[in-house]
Chain A
């Protein structure tokens, strides 16, 4: 049976901002940032792509061994489960067919990674101008206690 997932709504919200996917778990108060290959995976999961489709998408987009990609995708999905961001879909009839466009110019591979920022209440206490680095909130300066 094919593994399919869905976003844990209404507790999880996300938005793509300038190539970065920001994700919030409103139940736990945790905030997440996904970039590069993790954005491809998150977007595909939002669209209902099955696990095998996720691997195929990554293999089509990045230069890497398929077994490495599969292992990394599985790890990434495990993290999403552990953080309560996705649920497994029992009935996979709704799974979206994975549209994979083969390309001759695959990108250098970067392992999908979910950056985790715990405790929104603490993060919101940071002054978003003066307590943070040039990368912007929620990345606090080393001198700040929330870092």
Chain B
């Protein structure tokens, strides 16, 4: 793996071992077998592999079985495959009753991320491990959806405040102290105004979840959502988006409306991240793109000032900013740059003061300056 854009390996991009494992999972013939041999030689199997790596193993097993690899490790790989098959079957069974309850009560359910990928793209319950289910409801149906959840003994917490609805994208719901359900009122955490949601809701298609008619994103929106969600710095390497995106492209790549996808990315100031993700797939896994798409992404560079500020925390080591109270405020500022549409400085500042009050948990903006003063005083004294 080489190239200038692979900074933050293991946090933004796959670590070298993970990249080799991805090749074993996704490539064909000798390339895949060689990659597995290379991974096997480098990795201490008795050491902790880490959850991101573990979650790739069913796909690795599936590919190696297809390639008829004879290796003593195949038994344990098969075991990982069996385990995640059971885990996903259990999760789907648990969630089905709730989804049916929503659907029967007139709430539109749009399944996001894992469930539609498992059922519609991988077409196999083992290959795409999941720890929770993500679904979206239309914002106006959120109170009804949460009330229906509570009827089935889910802990959905209080109804999100107007500011939660503005600055957050989903409610985490618990049952038996586990958190297996995220109810999104915004489809993507990077696209949080109503017009953005409309773009996604306009690109949906029907799907069947355990016999229940629901919705999933159509290939264009699915690909966009997968890449943008994945290309993000994380303590735990986000590697799943890579096979997910490749699976969407292999299964239904000819249905992806690239001009539409690029126009939306431009409007969201997300083209740089899209270009990074697509560039990785192209360089490392031979994704072939229309020339117009390549030209568009190449010409974009790294975007405007707000996009670049936001990307300091999205693409850079986020935890580094949390080491000092002052730099931590940069995270809030960069987050706000990604949230706001305000261009005029005064409106931007007012909007930021609202966001800061929200993030600091203050009752009113008049408390901002005293809070800063108290913080400075504590540092000096």
Looking at chain A, what size class is its interface with the partner chain? 20 to 34
B positions within 8 Å CB-CB of A:
45-46, 49, 54, 65, 72, 75-83, 85-87, 89-90, 93, 96, 125-126, 210-211
Question: Which stretch (A58-66, A83-91, A124-132) binds chain B?
Answer: A124-132
* A48 close to chain B: CB less than 8 A: no
The minimal Cβ–Cβ distance linking B75 to chain A, given in whole angstroms, is 5
* A120 close to chain B: CB less than 8 A: yes
Q: Indicate if the CB atoms of B65 and A18 lie closer than 8 Å.
A: yes
* A15 close to chain B: CB less than 8 A: yes
The minimal Cβ–Cβ distance linking B223 to chain A, given in whole angstroms, is 28
Of B80, B89, B126, which is within 8 A of A136 by CB?
A: B80
Q: Which residue of A lies closest to B65 (CB)?
A: A18
Q: Which residue of A lies closest to B96 (CB)?
A: A10
- Told that A17-B81, A17-B85, A135-B79 touch, could you supply 11 new A-B pairs with CB distance under 8 A? A13-B125, A15-B126, A120-B90, A123-B83, A124-B86, A128-B76, A128-B79, A129-B54, A134-B72, A135-B75, A138-B83
Which residues from A are CB-within-8-Å of B65?
A: 18
Interface string of A109-131 (1 = CB under 8 A from B): 00000000000100110101110
Which residues from A are CB-within-8-Å of B96?
A: 10
The minimal Cβ–Cβ distance linking A140 to chain B, given in whole angstroms, is 10
Which residues from B are CB-within-8-Å of A15?
A: 85, 125-126
* A31 close to chain B: CB less than 8 A: yes
Of A11, A26, A31, A129, which is within 8 A of B76 by CB?
A: A129
Which residues from A are CB-within-8-Å of B93?
A: 10-11, 26
Which residues from B are CB-within-8-Å of A139?
A: 79
Q: Indicate if the CB atoms of A138 and B89 lie closer than 8 Å.
A: no
* A24 close to chain B: CB less than 8 A: yes
Q: Which residue of A lies closest to B210 (CB)?
A: A10
Q: Indicate if the CB atoms of A10 and B80 lie closer than 8 Å.
A: no
Q: Which residue of B lies closest to A132 (CB)?
A: B79
Which residues from A are CB-within-8-Å of B46?
A: 130
* A96 close to chain B: CB less than 8 A: no
The minimal Cβ–Cβ distance linking A84 to chain B, given in whole angstroms, is 14
CA distance A22 to B125 in the complex (A): 12
CA distance A130 to B76 in the complex (A): 9
CA distance A123 to B80 in the complex (A): 12
Q: Indicate if the CB atoms of A128 and B75 lie closer than 8 Å.
A: no
